[in-house]
Structure 1
């Protein structure tokens, strides 16, 4: 499995542009996908790892005929079927460890505009809309962030910006600690890594804050754990004490003196006390989601059904179930959810068991782990940039133990690394 020079260049450029604009990123990634799908030694249906996606795709399409809102159901397939193809078609570009390292660096470099615009909107009051190509691309950068006071940058909402930064953070960490960098190069990467940490903190996303910590031991690897894990535990102890319900005041009050007010208040949701009704919480959304699954377990209700049914049953609007397995099962049925989620988990386990010896392979795995954790309480994949990046990460895991893989750069990459 060898990437062509043209496809490889399109793929790199697409990765670099992806964080800034899905449209420009896709304009280069789509030709790369076409090129990567031509002349393959094995057809799509002959790879056993594609079989769950083939079956899931057929079940999804059949379920659209049974959905109450068939138009929405068919449109909703756009969030899945093209990416099933991408999972296979992108593999030639991430087949080697050198290629995955190069792709990681392009994603890190492409995140710079997100950080600059995010910091600009908070610190200097930058405001959009900014247009490109005669209005074909528009960035609605909100002054002061969206919501107010939270960094969102080129994304529609702070939580989505946080999800992107959390995904890229382990790749940036690997770029920082990799051996062989010159002093000037390491200084540049250090500044970028610090900016990424600052950006994640300013999103005020609890998931993003957790990702900052989760990525470090995975990327640095088991040799660092004897000293790193106790150090992280010691650093996090005041935070845990400051937010844990039922802690004695003589322990919690000093901890809250050490931990910034904004941090512990955000973690225990004290700013929402007495304001949030039950129907606006995750517990209510998941409860209603489970009820919907029990009512239609086999083929689901169709894409976007949750956003229609939930307001009718609770009086509160929410666009999705804030949990990916639940959302899949609600929209397309339990068999589809089991096939897709099972495939992702199997890829994670198999790649881990085969060993993540390289620094960037550990970072790649950590990025996907963070994305999976984020989808336990939110659905950032509805942003196309995160959806594309997630399936590219999955393609890299599959390629890492593909029988066609190579530990050396591909022919197209050899002259480019």
Structure 2
């Protein structure tokens, strides 16, 4: 079905979008250039439909609220600069959701991500295990670099500036790969393509282990649970629950029999989850400290906040330590733009996801088909979980990917629900 769709001349723009996603992690400038052309063409072709849609009015409201927050910000120049992380992506979302409206078009997004993950993990293994690194000139030409033994040291970061952003990309690829295997198993006998997909999952799991990211491990566990529930894999669900119980027992608190469980669970796992791997970190670098400060900022200015990008300015003044963000997108957004703006943007995203769930119910009798849309919902939920403990918007590639996935859910779901 996908090959037939791919060969359709009407899908030239989607092929360009797929190309953009394919090259984005490795050559951001070219990827963004191709993406800009696709978005511009989408706006030109669908301008009337875009501006008449309620989502357009919703994002106009959010933009106005952000501008108001910037006018009254603690540091207005920083806040107006922060608009670049949001407003262009609103326009991208509104354009792409008109382009991606057919279920089969979802494959144009997932295939380049799956392919990229293989290359990214292989580069990461060379980086963290073999000490691969790239020269400074390479960074100037490509926008990314390999640092010997990773960033932070000993943790795989590959083409990303830190291990944490890498883990979100790998969990996205892992989820899509698993969905594609299930989709294919309903339609085809097991063959070499399935073997390659299984190998990709194993490679992504190895990459996730090497990132040593608790956030990534939690998201992976959540994704497997979600697929087990959706596909009625009760035995696997029980095994996952039992495994999660044993790992939690080994990792947290001071429980009876914990020494026994720690002999079963790999030390790198329970030590990282319990935070014993990196003890005695400075108090201002702890997430709990950053989150408490965000609550204080929200309490002081609950309506329009302190301005975008102002958390870093204020936190450095208070602690003499610079942090780019408070490791929670929602607290950061509430502190910087106020609770009104946070509430509106959460309502918009919640409504889109609810429509996705409604569309999934329409496909309930076609599980092999619904699994792809389901994987999109799982992936975006993974973005939400990630942003409870980190912030993805400051990595341009992840920010683009998140809005593309949300636009895909919105465009396809609206089409399914209406029909």
TM-score by length of 1: 0.90
Match among 360, 373, 383 for residue 371 of structure 1? 383
Gaps in structure 1 of 5+ consecutive residues: 408-417
Distance 2:395 2:336 in 1: 18
Gaps of 5+ in 2: 1-7, 364-369
* Cα deviation, residue 168, structure 1: 2.1
Task: Determine if the alignment matches structure 1 residue 159 to structure 2 residue 159.
Answer: no
Quick check: 1:47 aligned with 2:53? yes
Inter-partner Cα distance in structure 1 for 2:177 and 2:238 = 23
**2-structure distance, mates of 1:141, 1:181:** 40
Q: Distance in 1 between matches of 2:144 and 2:273?
A: 30
Give a deviation string over 1:268-299, Cα, whole Å, max 9, x none: 011333x1243221121111111112222222
User: Aligned pair count?
Assistant: 402
- The answer for the alignment partner of 1:398 in structure 2 is 410
- The residue that corresponds to 2:146 in the other structure is 141
Q: Distance in 2 between matches of 1:72 and 1:4?
A: 43
Query: Which of 235, 246, 268 is matched with 2:243 structurally?
Result: 235
**1:176–1:193 CA contact under 8 A, matched in 2:** no
Q: Is the contact made by 2:229 and 2:237 (CA closer than 8 Å) also made in structure 1?
A: no
- Which of residues 202, 219, 227 is equivalent to 2:227? 219
Aligned to 1:69: 75
Contact 2:355/2:414 (CA < 8 Å) preserved in 1?
no
The alpha-carbon deviation at position 406 of structure 1 amounts to: 9.1
Q: RMSD between aligned alpha carbons?
A: 2.2
TM-score by length of 2: 0.90
Counterpart-to-counterpart distance in 2, 1:333 and 1:58: 13
Flag the structure with higher helix content.
Answer: 2
Find the counterpart in structure 2 of residue 386 from structure 1.
398
Partners of 1:95 and 1:399 within 8 A in 2:
yes
Q: 2:174 corresponds to which residue?
A: 169
- What is the aligned partner in structure 2 of residue 340 from structure 1? 345
Structure 1 residue 101, shift from structure 2 partner: 2.3
1:271-286 maps to which residues of 2 (within 5 A)?
A: 271-273=277-279, 275-286=280-291
Match of 2:305 among 300, 306, 314: 300
Is residue 258 from structure 1 mapped to residue 264 from structure 2 by the alignment?
Answer: yes
SS of 2:341 mapped into structure 1: helix
**Structure 1 range deviating more: 332-341 or 154-163:** 332-341
Contact 1:4 1:35 in 2 (8 A): no
Question: In the alignment, is residue 244 of structure 1 matched against residue 252 of structure 2?
Answer: yes
- Structure 1 residues 136 and 272: CA distance shift in structure 2, 3 A: closer
Distance in 1 separating the partners of 2:169 and 2:105: 21
